[in-house]
Amino acid sequence: MNNLKQFRELIKAYEEITKEDIEKTAKLIPFDEYSVFYAFDIAKRLTGFGSTHTCTLCKEVLGQCTACTWYHINWYVVEGYRELRDDNFPCLYDESYHAIYDAEIADQLLLAFKQRAEYMKNKLKEYEERRD
């Protein structure tokens, strides 16, 4: 795992985001007439979320999913991982990712960030326990 350090840092970043951070970042994003809240863009600005070009984990492994901590966690934790999913974007296969993407208000996004951090911590713990 070439980005374990960044994985742990991302957990911390999710845990430390505040509602004020979200609201401040939201003010920097131009909204169109059809949308009131761009959770994806806010998350991307705050954590690099959602793009291989901005994600701190992707950037560390040069976009090679099989070198990412997410891949290794899923390999050990999800039995038959390779049979269930392809090797690309193992970070997308959980509700916490989609909760961030789908948030419609600051409170929902804040909760989604906290849930993502908790999910990542739990998966890392499971991985470390199984690996030992």
Q: Which of the residue ranges 8-12, 47-51, 92-96, 126-130 has the most confident prediction, judged by mean pLDDT? A: 8-12
Domain ranges across the chain: 4-131
Share of the chain above pLDDT 90, in %: 53
pTM over 0.95: no
Q: If DSSP codes are grouped into helix, strand and coil, which group holds residue 63?
A: coil
Alpha-carbon separation of residue 13 from 80, 87, 114 (angstroms): 31, 26, 10
d(CA 107, CA 98): 15
| Spatial contact of 10 and 57, defined as CB atoms under 8 Å apart | yes
**The residue to which tokens 């049979």 are assigned:** 83
pLDDT, tens only, 29-84 = 887 665 657 899 999 999 999 888 999 999 999 988 888 888 888 765 555 444 44
